[in-house]
């Protein structure tokens, strides 16, 4: 492969207001890409999803029941399935979250009218009907073309309960597999990932790292996948944000483990919150809130570095993945909704936040090999919002779709010098970018302009590259707090962008607060 140096010079136009893109003074910037070198593969599972029995995340969001007038397939909404298929969801984590450590799988199998309803004390204290259980979830992931990431109940469950659930799902020719067949699915299910507990340092039992470790060993030993030829990766509970006790304890034990137990991943949970309890407004916020929120989300890089350094000490070969299986914006709930349902609107700020996190995960792709945004439908930083028969796509959804070319693409090193965006005492890089070659060899570039005041005109030097144009999409909005609503569902939507290569130069403009993804064309 010939060495390629891609230099980007930028003219930045200052704007008079956040919502109006008026011309101003020029600011220089540069980006250098070296395609002669390549980094790790950006595992497609980095773009994973999370669905918990929480508010309308499952009920009404995914599941409406087979008798609903809303178009569905075996009770699962057709419009939501089509939307999720379009972003090529690789994996879905279920049934929780905090809900998982109070979930008993037998309550969610068998005839729907015979299932045992119960309370959901973690999320609103509402009745959980258990009409969406193992069979429905497996049907759902099959419909959207995703893999299953099952969360085992360690908090109120037992190793036997988890072991029997895995046998029920994956075995053949046993009493439990016969029961599965009697419930409508003779063939074994494929379980790609098993999470052993959830936040065992908190809502999953407030366990010390040492106590959880003893639980982990038993669950990892006895929760078997019985389906021949199907690998099931086991993910242990890991750190609570920057706290390192779990990381040290679990990874040291893994290094010194005996043959009878093993793990493939260590989970990390970290939300962008700006203080606890979550109080940041989802709409109607100003530039100070915009900047502080994005500054906090950039801290994901330091967080991964902290835990990756500990993992490297015990696992220099990087066999154990760091799995960021809860991340995203956690904002104040929408006024007038049940606060336990964690319903929030989704703005252009959230789209920028998602892109920044994707770029961080990609740069750590040697260790971060799966993430799961919280959550998929109607909860927190959702892809999709539903209201009875209506559905709309959020700005975050559009970023997930724009980044599909980076699924299983190989990272290409990029150096960015885009200047600094400042808002009061908050400072951060104005431009963030990654590049990668997809499995077919095509070069892709994703660039985020966080500055809400400045449009960046890029002149890209493509000397030595066989390219005639660049084609892709850009996502921006008239305001940083712009959202999509059922009355205006396309206020924030991607628009095509393209540019010709003239004399080995590619020129395009990045709008303020924008995310742009481009593929080079021959």
Could you give the residue numbers annotated as active site? 199, 326
Centroid of chain to Cα 2: 34
189 secondary structure, DSSP code: P
Per-residue H/E/C for 435-471: EEECCCCCEEEEEEECCCCCEEEEEEECCCCCCCEEE
d(CA 380, CA 372) in angstroms, rounded, equals 12
**CA–CA distance, 316 with 208 (Å, rounded to integer):** 26
Per-residue buried b or exposed e for 263-280, using 16+ beta carbons within 10 Å of the residue's own CB: bbbbbbbbbbbbeeebeb
| Distance from C-alpha of 242 to C-alpha of 229, rounded to nearest angstrom | 37
Range list of β-strands (E), 334-462 = 368-374, 384-387, 390-393, 409-412, 414-417, 420-423, 426-429, 431-437, 443-449, 455-461
Peptide bond into 277 cis (omega under 30): yes
- Distance from C-alpha of 50 to C-alpha of 53, rounded to nearest angstrom: 10
- Taking Cα atoms as reference points, which of 278, 205, 276, 202 lies closest to residue 240? 202
Question: What are the b/e assignments for 19-35, b being 16+ CB within 10 Å?
Answer: eebeeeeebebbbebeb
User: Which residue intervals of 145-272 are DSSP H helices?
Assistant: 159-170, 175-182, 209-222, 245-255
Residue whose pair of structure tokens reads 């003893």 in the numeric block: 214
Q: 123-129, long-range: CB within 8 Å, 24+ apart, which pairs?
A: 123/52, 123/53, 123/54, 123/55, 123/98, 123/99, 123/340, 123/341, 123/342, 124/55, 124/338, 124/339, 124/340, 124/341, 125/340, 126/338, 126/340, 128/53, 129/59
Work out the widest C-alpha separation in the chain, in whole angstroms: 74
**CA triple 340-87-105, angle to 5 deg:** 45
Q: Could you tell me where the beta strands, DSSP code E, fall in 330-395?
A: 368-374, 384-387, 390-393
* Cβ(306)–Cβ(251) below 8 Å: no
């Amino acid at each position: 492969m010939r060495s390629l140096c891609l230099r980007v010079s930028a003219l930045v136009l200052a704007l008079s207001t956040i919502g109006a893109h008026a011309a101003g003074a020029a600011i220089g910037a540069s980006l250098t890409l070296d395609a002669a070198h390549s980094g790790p593969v950006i595992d497609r599972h980095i773009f994973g999803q999370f669905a918990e029995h929480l508010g309308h995340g499952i009920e009404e969001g995914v599941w409406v029941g087979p008798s609903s007038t809303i178009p569905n397939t075996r009770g699962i909404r057709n419009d939501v399935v089509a939307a999720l298929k379009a972003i090529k969801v690789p994996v879905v984590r279920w049934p929780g979250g905090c809900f998982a450590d109070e979930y008993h799988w037998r309550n969610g199998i068998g005839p729907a009218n015979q299932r045992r309803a119960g309370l959901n004390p973690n999320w609103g204290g509402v009745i959980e009907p258990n009409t969406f259980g193992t069979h429905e979830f497996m049907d759902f992931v099959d419909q959207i073309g995703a893999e299953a990431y099952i969360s085992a109940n360690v908090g109120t469950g037992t190793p036997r309960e988890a072991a029997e659930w895995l046998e029920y799902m994956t075995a053949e020719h046993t009493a439990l597999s016969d029961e599965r067949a009697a419930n409508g699915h003779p063939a074994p299910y494929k379980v790609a990932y098993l999470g052993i507990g959830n936040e065992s340092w908190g809502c999953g039992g407030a366990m010390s790292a040492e106590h959880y470790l003893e639980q982990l060993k038993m669950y990892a030993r006895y929760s078997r996948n019985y389906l021949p030829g199907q690998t099931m990766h086991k993910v242990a509970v890991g750190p609570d944000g920057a706290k390192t006790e779990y990381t040290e304890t679990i990874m040291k034990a893994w290094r010194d483990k005996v043959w009878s137990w093993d793990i493939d991943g260590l989970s990390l949970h970290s939300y962008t919150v700006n203080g606890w309890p979550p109080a940041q407004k989802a709409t109607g916020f100003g530039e100070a809130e915009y900047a502080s929120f994005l500054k906090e989300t950039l801290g994901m890089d330091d967080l991964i570095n902290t835990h990756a350094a500990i993992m490297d000490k015990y696992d220099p070969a990087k066999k154990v993945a760091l799995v960021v299986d809860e991340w995203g914006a956690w904002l104040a709930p929408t006024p007038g909704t049940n606060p336990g349902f964690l319903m929030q609107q989704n703005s252009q700020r959230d789209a920028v936040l998602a892109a920044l996190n994707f770029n961080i995960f990609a740069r750590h792709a040697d260790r971060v090999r799966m993430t799961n945004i919280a959550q998929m439908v109607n909860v927190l930083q959702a892809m999709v919002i539903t209201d009875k028969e209506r559905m709309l796509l959020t700005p975050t959804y559009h970023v997930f779709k724009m980044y599909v070319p980076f699924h299983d693409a190989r990272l290409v090193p990029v150096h960015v010098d885009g200047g600094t965006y400042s808002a009061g005492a908050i400072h951060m890089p104005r431009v963030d970018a990654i590049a990668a070659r997809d499995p077919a060899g095509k070069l892709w570039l994703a660039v985020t302009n966080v500055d809400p005041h400045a449009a960046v005109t890029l002149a890209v030097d493509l000397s030595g590259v066989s390219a005639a144009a660049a084609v892709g999409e850009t996502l921006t909005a008239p305001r940083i707090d712009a959202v999509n609503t059922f009355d205006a569902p396309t206020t924030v939507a991607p628009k095509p962008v393209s540019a010709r290569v003239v004399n080995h130069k590619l020129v395009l403009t990045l709008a303020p607060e924008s995310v742009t993804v481009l593929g080079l064309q021959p």
